[in-house]
Structure formats: structure tokens, C-alpha cells
């Protein structure tokens, strides 16, 4: 290590910008990191956190701006350069390889010695790194797939240490962990900082920030605000820094009148939702379910849609009960459509034309008697295109070639063909730029006004508060409360989904 | 909004590319025939032309069925050659027991449907199609070997004799069957709901399932279709010499896969054309016939066939990438 004292600035970034096509992900971001500190990097989804992390990791080259390492100008832009700058990143998704041993995972980047490779030599080399992350007890030759998620996360971090990096970036290391495991990861982060590492800690769990971070940098819409000391902040102030742009123009008006009950679920449990769930939504209503990834908000929609197995409880649509353990086609037949959160995975056929995507849930409708009817396909494509304002001249273009917003309009619009009574949408605007967002909100409101009942799940608080007529907040598989979004502040909602205990106190 | 609806039928960027592939392939066949005739007049006789079409028919018929598997995103089957063999042997065994031809074929087809359905069911539960069909093929080969003791089984039937060697309007029965199966396969893929659903599950299985399609049902049907196509070839093969052979089906799977790939069907699924796969089969048969006339050794023939397959498939890939979008 270089001979610096604690508190020296090890990393400094000024005016970092990065655009993807028309989307400006980072707009002149400033960032600094001192030796031996934990810097929390906060911001909403889409604020630019992951882009900044990827710039540091060398996965994206910045369009402009300068970076200094230990005060000397340094240009990032490839993983190799980041490595040379002594930066190491633990990605959000675990990248440990289950079939390999702990030691092999730690040295994936290269064997740490010359000469013949033996298990024992590798294990010896791995042991200090395992100890550094608090896995003293672990046999380095244990296969990683036999370990708990938290232990795998710790091994991932041990791998960062083995690269000899001084600057460690942890991207939501606790997102998939339970409480006791979170404690282990947090304790280790503090220990590493004391040992002189500088740590950038990205998280959605704001409580953690107050426990382990020294300073906070907040990003909003691709812009940074100067770092602040955690000791000067409160939860409310942090939330205020994260949120706060004019939302009025973004969102349509609320429901003026509600109809009969469209969907009612009682005591529903699924493998992902062990606690019984109740829910009710009326015709013409947009119900928002606020929750972080893994909070159960998406699992709730999947239960209704028949995408997950329902183990207990009952679901009724327009007064008619679903059969037990209903399937997705069955739910569709009863007028329930489900637009998933990951459109690339299971929302669109990226390689097929727009028109084919649009007709995919309505195959029966466009092929009476089993024979494809071109006229019907064209009519349905035109109908959906005009309803969702999809450019009709692109009906034969591959969906994958369209912008995120247009892809999402196809993923949503294709469900109109089955004339759903209940529309379930998970993360309605993930990966969608601001303009198209407002458009999608407008479409959802219009569909509700035409008599649909809409339930959407979202981790974006602005979206939930701006769009929903009624909000259910969820935290770790339970519904925290049902609120009127016009009568609560957004930071109350954020607290509900990140930290409901504090509120009770 | 009405003007945007009108534009839909006018803009068809992918269609031109599909046409290009077809033209390229047809040009390759024509060039091969012309070159062949230039150097060897015996190649261009009508009799040789029919022989080529008959040879193409055998792997071509199976390729029509195999195209469904590839389009549905399950790569290909390595059991089709053995299914053909099994079908011929089973039919011959039944006829040797005294069953009339029609009944023997019906019973055999039922068995083949079951064979395809079981493979499709196993694969739709998540098993790897290549491993599953490899195992199924070995199973069928073993079963046929066991019942026949490895001996060919003679068939004595005028109908079978005609099926194997008859001609309609001077064209062999196999060639007619090939033409009909191309037409049927093209029609099913392009004009029926089942065909469209096959494309959808091949393009993105998860999205297809999330759109309410019954992925398992389609997968099972796809493997049944391919097995039936193989059975058809098996019947023709047995009928040609009035005996069901146990050996000699080793190269079928290779020829079939080559025809499908040369036809530009995407190996990852979601795209493909039975018509082009048929042209692929004709291309391979033409090439092999020509080399046979030149009396080249089988090693050289295989080598050159392989080289052409790599060349054409790589050519499609590069052409497809350059066009982008």
C-alpha cells in the first residue's frame, strides 16, 4: 500500500457524464472517496447508481469528466484499467461459481503462485482472505454451492480482497440476505474500512447507512449532490435528498369513481408468500403495491396471475372463485392479465415482429378453427397499436430493436387482446425513460377508466404515489399498511418499505 | 391512427431477407446443377435428376419433421434415423405375423406417435433434447436388434413393392411424398395456429409460457410430427427393397440436420422454413450424386459435404449479422 494517512482522498471524480443514446444516465457527477471510509451511494432506481458503479468497474467508459486516483489523473474505461487503479466491484448478482471450492472462487482471476497447482497450496493461500471476511471456520476446499447465501456473498467479497484492491465497491450486498446474515456483512464492511480499505456501499436499505457509513453521496436523475456526513443527517433528510422533483405533470389524475369489486383475495399463501395475503380492488381503480425487490409485491401479483402455485386461500374475480392451484392460462381465461417485471426474460419475443408479439396471448382470437387469419392479425395489431400509441409503421419490426419505452408498450399492450378485467403490472416503467413513463401512466389510467381494475407492483415510490388510487406497502412478505397516497408523504412510504419498525417506535 | 394502421402492410423489412436466403440457396442448387452438367453430361439426364430427387426425398421428408423441432427451440433429434429404422422393422415384423399392410402401418404409426410423445414429454419437463433423443435412438436400435436378431426382414406384398418402386406420371412415389410433405409442413408452419405457436415457443419459451401458451403440449406435438416423418421414411426405405433393414440408418440424422441448417433455420429456434430445409436436402443430394458420378471415395465425399455445410451456415450467419436490426 502507499504511505497515506487515513482521510486522504484516494478517488476523485469530477464532471463524469455518460449517455446511452438519448438517455443521459450520468450528468456531470462529482464523487470522492477517502482512505478508510465507508461511502454510501444512494439514489432511486434509474438515478445513475449502477451506471456510476459500472464506470468505476471499467464496464462503461465515461463520455467526459476526469478521474484521479491518489491525486493523479487516471483514465478508466476497461476492467483492466480499473484493476490497475486498485478498484474491485462485487456485483449485485452473485457471481461465485457453485461447482468450485471456496478457494478456487477466491482465485478465479488467477492462481496466486508459480509452480504446480495443488489443492493444498491454493487452500493455504485462500485462508487469510477467508479470515479477513470472518469465515475462519470455513474449509477452503468446501464447494460453494453447499454454503448459505450470506457465506457466498462473503466469499465474493473475499475475492475482491484477493485482487489486492484498496477501493471496494459493494453493490447491494445485503439485498438477498436475511437479518442475521446482514449483520455479518455489515460487521465485515466496518472491519475492512478500519483496516484501511475505502468502500463504496450501494444500498436500498437506508437503515444500514446509519449503522456503517461515514458519508453519503446521493444521486438523482444522473446528478450528484456533494457528500454529507452521516452524523449530520436524519432518515427524513436522506429521503428528501433522494426524492423531490415536480411529479404533477408526470402523472394523470386519480380515479373519479370506483365500480364494483373486481378482484378479491383472501388468505392467499404461496411458496414465496408464507404469510396469508388479503387484497381487494375495484373496477376503475389503480392499486399500487409498494415494496422493494424481494418484499413480496411481485409475488402477490404472480399468485393472482397463476404464475406461482397458490397453496392456500381464495381468489375471486367478479365474484367467481378461481379453482384451487389455478394456472396462468386459467387466470387468463377469467380475464386476468399479468405483465411481468422483466420484459426481456418473459415479456416480449425480442427477435419477432411487433405484430407477432401483440397477438401472442390472443392466438385463439386470431386463428379461428386453428387457422391463422391475416385480416384478424392486422386488425388486432392496429387496434392495440392505436390504443397504446405504438407506431403502426413498425408492426413488422423486431421488438428488440425498439426503445425501452416502446418495448414496454408492446409488453403491456399485447394483453389488451384478451380484454382483461384485471390487469396486473409488475414494475410498469422499469428501464423506460421519463417521457415514455408519463405516456404509460396515462395509458394505465385510461384503461382503468374504461373499467379495468389495475394492480401494479413497484419499487419506485414516486410512481406508486403518483399513479395509484390506493397503496399497499409491503416489507419482507407482509403488508405493512394500506394508505391513501395523497395523504401520506413519500418518505413515510419509503420508511414503510425499508424500515417499518422505526415507524412503530 | 388510421394512417398508421394502413402502413402496417407496407413495411416488411424481414421478408426481403427471407427471400434473399431462399434465392441464395436456389442459386446454389442451380449453380451446382449447371456446373455438374458442364463437366459431366450424364449428370444432366432426366433419369439422374429423378434419382437425385429420390435421394433427396429420403432425408428431405425427415427434415420436414425435424424443422419443427429446431423451430420450436429444441435443437434437433438424434433419434430420427433410428425411428425410421424401427418403423420399417416394426411394420415388417407385424406383416410377417400375418397382419395386412394397412393394419400393420396403423399399429406401427400408433407406436411411433407414442415414441415421439414420450420424448417430447420428457424434454418439455426440462431434459436436454440432444441427450434425450440420443438415448431414445439407442433404445429403439436395441429394441429392433433384439426382436430381429440383427437380421433383415423380408416383406412380401405387392402394395409395399409398389410404394417402394412405383411411379406416378413417371415420378417415383418417394418424390411425390417429399413434395406433399414440403407443402404440408409449409402450410402448418405458416397458416395454422399450431405453427405460429411453435415459432413462439422457439423464439422465447419463457415469454410463450407467460403469454398463456401450453409449451408442453406444443413440444410433445413437435416431437410426434418429427417421429411420424421419420416413420414415413422408414416405410419407403423398407419398401424399396421389400425388406426392412436394421443397419444403414447411421447417416440419416446427419443429413437431416445438415438440410435444416443449410436451409437457414436458426439453431436457437424461433425462425426457419420447411421450404428452405427441403432445398437444403436437394442441395446435399445433388452434391453427393455428382461426387458419386465422379467416383470419388466416400471419405472425400463426406469431407466436401461437410465443408459446404460449414460454408453455407457461416455465410448465413455473417449475412444475417451484417444486416442487423
Domain range list for chain A? 9-242, 245-335+420-505, 348-418
> Helix crossing, A235-242 with A490-498: angle to 10°?
110
Q: What was the pLDDT predicted at A248?
A: 46
Q: What DSSP line would sit under A448-461, residue for residue?
A: HHTT-EEEEEES-H
Residues of A in contact with B212 (CB under 8 A): 328-329, 332, 361
Instruction: Please give, rounded to a whole number of angstroms, the shortest distance from the CA of B321 to a CA of chain A.
Output: 13
Instruction: Select the residue from B192, B197, B207 to test the A interface by mutation, using most A Cβ atoms within 10 A.
Output: B207
pLDDT in tens, chain A (505 residues): 444 455 789 999 999 999 876 667 899 999 999 999 999 998 876 678 888 998 998 888 899 999 999 988 988 888 888 888 889 888 766 678 888 888 888 888 777 677 777 888 888 888 888 887 778 888 888 888 888 777 888 888 888 888 878 999 998 887 666 666 777 788 889 988 998 999 999 887 777 889 899 999 999 888 898 999 999 888 778 877 776 544 446 788 888 889 999 999 999 999 999 999 999 999 999 999 999 878 899 999 999 999 999 999 999 999 999 988 889 999 999 999 999 988 888 999 999 999 999 999 999 999 999 999 999 999 999 999 999 998 888 888 889 878 778 899 999 999 999 999 999 999 998 767 666 788 899 999 999 999 999 999 998 888 899 999 999 999 989 999 999 999 998 888 888 888 777 544 4
A401 CB burial (10 A radius; 0-12, 13-18, 19+): middle
Q: Is A398 on the interface with B (CB under 8 A)?
A: yes
Q: Is B4 on the interface with A (CB under 8 A)?
A: yes
Does the pLDDT at position B317 exceed 80? no
A260 CB burial (10 A radius; 0-12, 13-18, 19+): exposed
Instruction: Please give, rounded to a whole number of angstroms, the shortest distance from the CA of B123 to a CA of chain A.
Output: 20
A–B CB contacts, 8 A cutoff, strictly below? 112
Contact criterion met (CB < 8 Å) for B207 and A378: no
Contact criterion met (CB < 8 Å) for B203 and A352: yes
Contact criterion met (CB < 8 Å) for B204 and A396: no
Among A363, A391, A398, select the one facing B325 at the smallest CB separation. Answer: A398
Task: Using CA coordinates, name the residue in chain B closest to A358.
Answer: B211
Among A360, A367, A386, select the one facing B211 at the smallest CB separation. Answer: A360
Three-state DSSP state, A284: coil
Instruction: Please give, rounded to a whole number of angstroms, the shortest distance from the CA of A372 to a CA of chain B.
Output: 5
Q: Is A355 on the interface with B (CB under 8 A)?
A: yes
Instruction: Please give, rounded to a whole number of angstroms, the shortest distance from the CA of A212 to a CA of chain B.
Output: 40
Domain range list for chain B? 14-323
CATH of domain B14-323: 1.10.3470
Among B1, B3, B207, select the one facing A349 at the smallest CB separation. Answer: B207
Contact criterion met (CB < 8 Å) for A371 and B192: yes
Q: Is A380 on the interface with B (CB under 8 A)?
A: no
Among B14, B190, B208, select the one facing A353 at the smallest CB separation. Answer: B14
CATH of domain A245-335+420-505: 3.40.50.300
Q: Is A35 on the interface with B (CB under 8 A)?
A: no
Contact criterion met (CB < 8 Å) for A386 and B199: no
Contact criterion met (CB < 8 Å) for B203 and A349: yes
Range A9-242 classified under CATH 3.30.70.920: no
Task: Using CA coordinates, name the residue in chain A closest to B210.
Answer: A346
Specify the DSSP element, H or E, that contains A478: strand A478-483
- SS (HEC) of chain B: CHHHHHHCCCCCHHHHHHHHHHHHHHHHHHHHHHHHHHHCHHHHCHHHHHHHHHHHHHHHHHHHHHHHHHHCCCCCCCCHHHHHHHHHHHHHHHHHCCCCHHHHHHHHHHHHHHHHHHHHHHHHCCCCHHHHHHHHHHHHHHHHHHHHCCCCEECCCHHHHHHHHCEECCEEHHHHHHHHHHHHHHHHHHHEHHHHHHHHHHHCHHHHHHCCCCHHHHHHHHHHHHHHHHHHHHHHHHHHCCEECCCCCCCHHHHHHHHHHHCCCCCCCCCCCHHHHHHHHHHHHHHHHHHHHCCCCHHHHHHHHHHHHHHHHHHHHHHHHHHCC
A160 CB burial (10 A radius; 0-12, 13-18, 19+): buried
DSSP state of A21: T
Residues of B in contact with A351 (CB under 8 A): 203-204, 270-271
The pLDDT tens digits for B211-246 are 999 999 999 999 999 999 999 999 999 999 999 998
The cell for A270 is: 404461496
> What is this structure's pTM?
0.75
Amino acid at each position: 500500500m502507499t504511505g497515506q494517512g487515513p482521510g486522504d482522498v484516494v478517488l476523485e471524480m469530477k464532471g463524469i457524464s455518460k449517455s446511452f443514446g438519448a438517455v443521459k444516465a450520468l450528468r456531470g457527477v462529482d464523487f470522492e472517496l477517502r482512505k478508510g471510509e465507508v461511502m454510501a451511494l444512494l439514489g432511486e432506481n434509474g438515478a445513475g447508481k449502477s451506471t456510476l458503479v459500472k464506470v468505476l468497474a471499467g464496464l462503461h467508459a465515461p463520455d467526459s469528466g476526469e478521474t484521479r486516483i491518489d491525486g493523479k489523473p487516471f483514465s478508466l474505461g476497461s476492467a483492466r484499467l480499473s484493476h490497475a487503479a486498485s478498484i474491485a466491484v462485487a456485483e449485485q448478482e452473485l457471481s461465485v461459481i457453485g461447482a468450485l471450492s471456496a478457494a478456487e472462487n477466491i482465485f478465479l482471476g488467477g492462481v496466486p503462485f508459480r509452480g504446480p497447482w495443488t489443492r493444498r497450496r491454493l487452500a493455504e493461500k485462500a485462508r487469510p482472505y477467508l479470515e479477513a471476511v470472518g469465515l475462519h471456520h470455513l474449509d477452503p476446499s468446501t464447494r460453494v454451492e453447499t454454503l448459505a447465501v450470506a457465506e457466498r456473498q462473503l466469499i465474493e467479497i473475499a475475492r475482491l480482497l484477493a485482487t489486492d484492491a484498496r477501493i471496494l465497491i459493494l453493490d447491494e450486498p445485503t439485498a438477498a440476505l436475511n437479518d442475521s446474515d446482514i449483520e455479518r456483512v455489515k460487521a465485515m464492511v466496518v472491519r475492512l474500512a478500519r483496516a484501511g480499505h475505502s468502500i463504496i456501499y450501494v444500498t436500498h436499505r437506508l437503515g444500514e447507512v446509519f449503522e456503517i457509513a461515514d458519508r453519503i453521496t446521493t444521486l438523482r436523475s444522473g446528478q450528484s449532490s456533494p457528500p454529507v456526513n452521516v452524523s449530520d443527517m436524519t432518515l427524513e433528510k436522506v429521503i428528501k435528498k433522494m426524492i423531490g422533483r415536480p411529479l404533477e405533470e408526470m402523472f394523470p389524475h386519480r380515479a373519479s369513481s370506483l365500480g364494483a369489486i373486481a378482484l378479491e383475495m383472501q388468505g392467499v399463501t404461496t411458496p414465496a408468500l408464507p404469510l396469508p395475503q388479503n387484497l381487494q380492488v375495484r373496477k376503475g381503480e389503480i392499486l399500487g403495491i409498494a415494496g422493494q425487490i424481494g418484499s413480496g409485491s411481485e409475488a402477490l401479483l404472480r399468485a393472482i396471475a397463476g404464475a406461482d402455485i397458490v397453496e392456500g386461500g381464495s381468489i375471486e374475480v367478479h365474484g367467481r372463485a378461481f379453482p384451487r392451484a389455478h394456472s396462468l392460462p386459467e387466470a387468463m381465461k377469467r380475464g386476468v392479465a399479468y405483465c411481468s417485471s422483466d420484459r426481456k426474460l418473459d415479456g416480449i419475443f425480442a427477435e419477432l415482429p411487433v405484430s407477432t408479439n401483440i397477438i401472442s396471448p390472443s392466438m385463439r382470437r386470431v386463428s379461428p378453427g386453428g387457422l391463422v387469419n391475416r385480416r384478424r392479425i392486422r386488425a388486432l395489431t392496429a387496434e392495440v397499436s392505436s390504443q397504446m400509441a405504438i407506431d403502426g409503421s413498425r408492426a413488422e419490426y423486431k421488438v428488440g430493436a425498439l426503445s425501452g419505452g416502446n418495448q414496454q408498450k408492446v409488453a403491456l399492450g399485447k394483453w389488451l387482446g384478451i380484454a382483461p378485467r384485471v390487469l396486473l403490472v409488475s414494475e410498469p416503467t422499469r428501464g423506460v425513460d421519463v417521457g415514455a413513463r408519463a405516456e404509460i401512466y396515462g395509458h394505465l389510467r385510461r384503461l382503468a377508466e374504461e373499467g379495468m381494475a389495475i394492480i401494479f407492483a413497484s419499487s419506485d415510490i414516486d410512481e406508486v404515489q403518483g399513479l395509484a388510487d390506493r397503496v399497499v406497502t409491503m416489507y419482507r412478505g407482509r403488508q405493512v399498511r394500506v394508505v391513501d397516497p395523497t395523504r401520506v408523504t413519500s418518505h413515510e412510504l419509503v420508511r414503510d418499505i425499508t424500515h417499518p419498525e422505526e415507524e412503530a417506535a | 391512427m388510421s394512417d398508421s394502421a394502413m402502413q402496417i402492410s407496407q413495411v416488411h423489412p424481414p421478408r426481403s431477407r427471407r427471400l434473399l436466403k431462399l434465392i441464395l440457396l436456389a442459386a446454389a442448387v442451380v449453380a451446382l446443377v449447371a456446373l455438374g452438367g458442364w463437366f459431366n453430361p450424364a449428370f444432366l439426364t432426366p433419369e439422374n435428376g429423378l434419382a437425385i430427387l429420390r435421394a433427396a426425398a429420403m432425408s428431405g421428408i425427415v427434415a420436414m419433421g425435424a424443422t419443427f423441432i429446431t423451430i420450436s427451440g429444441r435443437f434437433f433429434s438424434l433419434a430420427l434415423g433410428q425411428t425410421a429404422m424401427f418403423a420399417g422393422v416394426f411394420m415388417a415384423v407385424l406383416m410377417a405375423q400375418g397382419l395386412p399392410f394397412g393394419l400393420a402401418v396403423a399399429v406401427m404409426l400408433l407406436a411411433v406417435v407414442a415414441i415421439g410423445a414420450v420424448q417430447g414429454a420428457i424434454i418439455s419437463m426440462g431434459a436436454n433434447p440432444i441427450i434425450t433423443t440420443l438415448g431414445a435412438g439407442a433404445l429403439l436400435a436395441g429394441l429392433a436388434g433384439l426382436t430381429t436378431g440383427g437380421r433383415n426382414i423380408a416383406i412380401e406384398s405387392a402394395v409395399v413393392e409398389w410404394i417402394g418402386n412405383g411411379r406416378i406420371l413417371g415420378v417415383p412415389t418417394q418424390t411425390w411424398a417429399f413434395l406433399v410433405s414440403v407443402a404440408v409442413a409449409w402450410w402448418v408452419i405458416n397458416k395454422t395456429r399450431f405453427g405460429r405457436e411453435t415459432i413462439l415457443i422457439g423464439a422465447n419459451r419463457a415469454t410463450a409460457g407467460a403469454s398463456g401458451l401450453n409449451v408442453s403440449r406444443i413440444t410433445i406435438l413437435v416431437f410426434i410430427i418429427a417421429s411420424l416423418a421419420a416413420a414415413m421414411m422408414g416405410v419407403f426405405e423398407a419398401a424399396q427393397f421389400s425388406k426392412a433393414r436394421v443397419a444403414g440408418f447411421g447417416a440419416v440424422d446427419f443429413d437431416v440436420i445438415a438440410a435444416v441448417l443449410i436451409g437457414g433455420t436458426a439453431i436457437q429456434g424461433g425462425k426457419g422454413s420447411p421450404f428452405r430445409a427441403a432445398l437444403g436436402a436437394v442441395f446435399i443430394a445433388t452434391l453427393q450424386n455428382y461426387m458419386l458420378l465422379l467416383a470419388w471415395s466416400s471419405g472425400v465425399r463426406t469431407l466436401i459435404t461437410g465443408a459446404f455445410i460449414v460454408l453455407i451456415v457461416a455465410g448465413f450467419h455473417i449475412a444475417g449479422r451484417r444486416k442487423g436490426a
